[in-house]
Amino acid sequence: MQIRDLPYADPGVADARSGPRFLLWLGRNQLGGQLKALAWGLLHFCGVAGLPLGVGRAVQAVVDRSGSALALAGALIILCGVAITLGDTMLHRTAVTNWITAAARVQQLLARKAAELGAALTRRVAAGEVVAVSTGDVEKIGWFVEALSRFAAAAITVVLVCVGLVLYVPELGVVVAVGVPVLALAVLPLLPRATRRADVQREKAGRATELASDTVAGLRVLRGIGGEELFLGRYRQASQEVRRAAVRSARMWALISAVQVLLPGLLLITVVWYGAGLAQDGRIEVGELVTAFSAVTLLMYPLRHFEEIAMAYSFSRPSAKRAARVLALRRTTEPSGVEYGRPSGDLYDPATGVLAPSGRFTAVVCGDPDAAGLLAERLGGHPAADADGAASVLLGGVPLDELALDEARAAVLVQDKDPVLLSGTLQELLDVPSSGKVSAEDALKAAQCGDVLDALAQASVDTDGDGDGDPMRTRITERGRSLSGGQRQRLALARSLVTDPEVLVLDEPTSAVDSHTEARIAAGVKELRAGRTTVVFASSPLLLDRADRVVFVHDGDVAAVGVHRELLHGNADYRAVVTRETEEEQLDGITAIGELAVLEEIEESA
């Protein structure tokens, strides 16, 4: 796999049973890249390990005054230099490729999971945690995957050097072979504590990220109630906790680093002291002493990768655990595998009894806005996580939960009450998968976006001072922050209308616009969607009066069905929701309606 081949055509199905299993799955799926990095790492480290032999042979050749031996030693040093250069270059190249491709695979998996779960994702996992996983955690997971092959190459090189020294200089080789494992394993007792501290740091950092994400998302509300300082204080406290946890973690890693400096120094002193005695007694040659000393010195380089892999695993394990927790989420039901094709017909929810006849404009009224949002998502095939066992919504008699995800999304489109506008030009915003039957101009007209287009034309980079800029080429900032709430809502509605799905479900699509605009939007949407199924969740009389059919849902079940004016006069609960009457006002309304009925009977009898 090369970086230029990204993204993956198929990132695969992750093993999300646990963090370590997820890391193992990532490593297996990059086995080719890992083997390449291992091969280049062995070439690099073996080149480093071969230098002591060349230096030792060169010193011994000078002592023996042998020109041929010195030439051979020089050739060996040059060969090791070439191996180091080539190996280091290609190792870095393959290691970075492994890092980036692993991170890209995780990001693709997260993106697909977000697309699969839709709005249900943020109800089951905090939005800040998803952000933390897709940013900082992805890098740490990639770091471990990348460091794994370099650690394996370093470990193999250490074993080869120890075995080579035992064969070349048995007297000193045994000391090195015993000391090096002690160096590698000396920090093991410290790793659990370091890992726990790293876990605490990552957990606190994740909470701080969630708090920051939620604060930014609700900044407008916080400003409205004067709560900026309160939440700033909370974030300041959370960030200080992260700092203290990071300092505690760094102290432990500093201790581990100190141990890995102290023990190799002691081993080096031991080798020099013992080897000097052996050379003085004539039991080894000077060149062999130089070889052993140089080998121990250069072994410190591959041994550093033991500390790196421990640190990489300690930091990546909680990150992988969080990623696995997100990737383990599933739709409440899975596709049945039956080929239904593209369904059409009436939209029916057996759980509540809501029926939206095919080709009609249906309005749904709920007293609870949260329940309305959940019902809207359910009609789109996104049941809540706690809805196990509930009957699936049917479209033309076909269960939406049993359809393949792309088929279900193409059949039913749900626009929630807080739609997101991605950054880009207006043309890019409206360039979405569609039937092609509804043009962008018609959708913008139906959504009453005339004043929005005028404002964008004034802000367009194409404006020459006469107000003739092209609004379609005007860039919209992230989440449409440069627009008002009503403008964002209407552009989102136009985007939904352009797609022209079989069924369009709109949750409070006009809550941020004035009554005159709302009436025109209701008329425009009804005209544009003629012959297509449209379901609107609303409590505005202007929208309800345009509906062919109004369904009133009370306490989770359909309580009444009819047209707006009939329900307004005949159902007190409906009237209370639509007109927001108090209990006393409801009684007055009922009395007034009763008196009106009596007067009508008197007039008829007269």
Q: How far apart are CA 191 and CA 309, in angstroms?
A: 11
- The pLDDT tens digits for 397-446 are 888 877 777 778 788 999 888 888 888 888 898 898 888 889 999 999 99
pLDDT of res. 449: 92
List beta partners, residue 507: 537
Question: CB–CB of 235/205 below 8 Å?
Answer: no
Token pair recorded at residue 594: 């009763």
Confidence of residue 589 (pLDDT cuts 50, 70, 90): very low
List beta partners, residue 535: 362, 505
Pair type for strands 533-537 and 361-366: parallel
**pTM attached to this predicted model:** 0.66
Q: In what order do the strands lie in the sheet with 361-366?
A: 412-415, 503-507, 533-537, 361-366, 549-554, 557-562
pLDDT of res. 587: 47
Q: In what order do the strands lie in the sheet with 347-349?
A: 354-356, 347-349, 394-395, 398-399
Among 26-30, 63-67, 405-409, whose mean pLDDT is lowest? 405-409
Q: What is the dihedral of CA 48, 50, 54, 59, to 10 degrees?
A: 80
Answer yes or no: is pLDDT of 509 > 60. yes
pLDDT of res. 397: 87
Confidence of residue 343 (pLDDT cuts 50, 70, 90): confident
Confidence of residue 563 (pLDDT cuts 50, 70, 90): very high
Q: Return the closest-CA partner of residue 543 out of 559, 524, 562, 571.
A: 524
Q: Phi, psi at residue 545, to the nearest 5°?
A: -70, -20
- The pLDDT tens digits for 355-379 are 999 999 999 999 888 888 888 888 8
pLDDT of res. 584: 46
Q: Phi, psi at residue 161, to the nearest 5°?
A: -65, -45
pLDDT of res. 385: 54
Question: CB–CB of 37/149 below 8 Å?
Answer: yes
* pLDDT (mean) for 54-59: 86
DSSP secondary structure string, 411-479? HEEEE-SS--PPSEEHHHHT-----SSS-HHHHHHHTT-HHHHHHHHHH-TT--SSS---GGGPEEPGG
Confidence of residue 553 (pLDDT cuts 50, 70, 90): very high
Token pair recorded at residue 491: 């552009």
**204 vs 563 pLDDT, higher one:** 563
Q: Return the closest-CA partner of residue 536 out of 493, 480, 581.
A: 493
Q: Return the closest-CA partner of residue 520 out of 534, 535, 508, 510.
A: 510
Q: How far apart are CA 56 and CA 285, in angstroms?
A: 10
**Amino acid type, 327:** L
The overall average pLDDT reported for the chain is 82
